[in-house]
Amino acid sequence: MKLLPDNIGGNPKQYTVLGVLAIALVFVYRMYNAQVATPAPPVPPVAPLRRPTVVARQQTVVPEAPSGPKLETRSGHRADDFRPSLKLPDGVDVTKIDPTLKLELLARLQKIPLEGGSRSVFDYGAPPVPPPPPVAPIKPGMIVVNGQQVPAGSVAPPAPVKPQAPPIPLKFYGYANRLSGAARQAFFLDGDDIQIKGENDVIRGRYKIIRIGINSAVVEDLQTHDQQTLPLVAELTS
């Protein structure tokens, strides 16, 4: 019996292979649909992590014993033996105690000036300020020079300071050589006036020309007898 018509090409072996492939595809398709239809199992919730609780244990704090020797007070007792108490001695009658505030005593206490030493309580071990050295009295006929007493006649008095002479109000701005008369004459500016003078000539009856040089001229003030060198002025400005 023929399952396929004769007009379809191919041999029976090829038809067998195609049939096997078709059956395999149908099986794979059913397996895929079964996996898609089956719901995935729910994921259990994860509990949040908790920090461990730390329980602090109460411990009794024991004060450390002070190291080093204990200091003694003026009364001979140790410093740690001072334990003041407000408890009254036995046998004291409390009803006889006067609780009145003594204002006059407080007023007297406020009027007492505060006095203290020169040593600072914050500078431990600082030495006290030394007293000033004693000053020896000056003996008669002695004077003090550089901290020492010397006889008054052994020190020469200082030389008097010579007063500085005023500047000569002349300007030397040129010279000229002459064939006759004075060998060289200089040109001086006296305020707005021009003075032409030679050596040994006098200007205004006070300033004498001592020497005429190329770059300067020496002039003497006849009142103070002071000689000054006047430099040559290269250019005069009005």
Cα distances (Å, whole numbers) of residue 171 to 41, 50, 65, 183, 208? 124, 108, 97, 20, 14
Q: Is the dihedral of CA 86, 91, 95, 96 positive or negative?
A: negative
Per the domain annotation, does 81 fall within a domain? no
Average pLDDT value for residue range 33-38 = 64
Q: How much is the pLDDT for 85? A: 74
Per the domain annotation, does 207 fall within a domain? yes
HEC letters along the chain: CCCCCCCCCCCHHHHHHHHHHHHHHHHHHHHHHHHHHCCCCCCCCCCCCCCCCCCCCCCCCCCCCCCCCCCECCCCCEHHHCCCCCCCCCCCCHHHCCCCCCHHHHHHHHHCCCCCCCCCCCCCCCCCCCCCCCCCCCCCCEEEECCEEEEHHHCCCCCCCCCCCCCCCCEEEEEEECCCCCCEEEEEEECCEEEEEECCCEECCCEEEEEECCCEEEEEECCCCEEEEEEECCCCCC
Q: What average pLDDT is seen over the chain?
A: 75
* Stretch among 38-47, 66-75, 119-128, 226-235 having the lowest mean pLDDT: 66-75
Number of domains in the chain: 1
Per the domain annotation, does 159 fall within a domain? no
Q: How much is the pLDDT for 1? A: 46
Per the domain annotation, does 196 fall within a domain? yes
Give residue 45's pLDDT band: very low, low, confident or very high (50, 70, 90): low
pLDDT digits (tens, 9 = 90+) for 132-180: 887 778 777 777 777 777 777 666 667 777 778 889 999 998 888 876 6
Residue-range definition of the domain harbouring residue 205: 171-231
pLDDT digits (tens, 9 = 90+) for 66-102: 555 555 555 555 555 667 777 778 888 878 888 888 8
Give residue 217's pLDDT band: very low, low, confident or very high (50, 70, 90): very high
Per the domain annotation, does 101 fall within a domain? no
Checking if the pLDDT of 238 tops 60, the result is no
Per the domain annotation, does 112 fall within a domain? no
Q: Give the pTM.
A: 0.34
Per the domain annotation, does 189 fall within a domain? yes
Closest of 230, 160, 148 to residue 197, by C-alpha: 230
Per the domain annotation, does 26 fall within a domain? no
Checking if the pLDDT of 210 tops 90, the result is yes
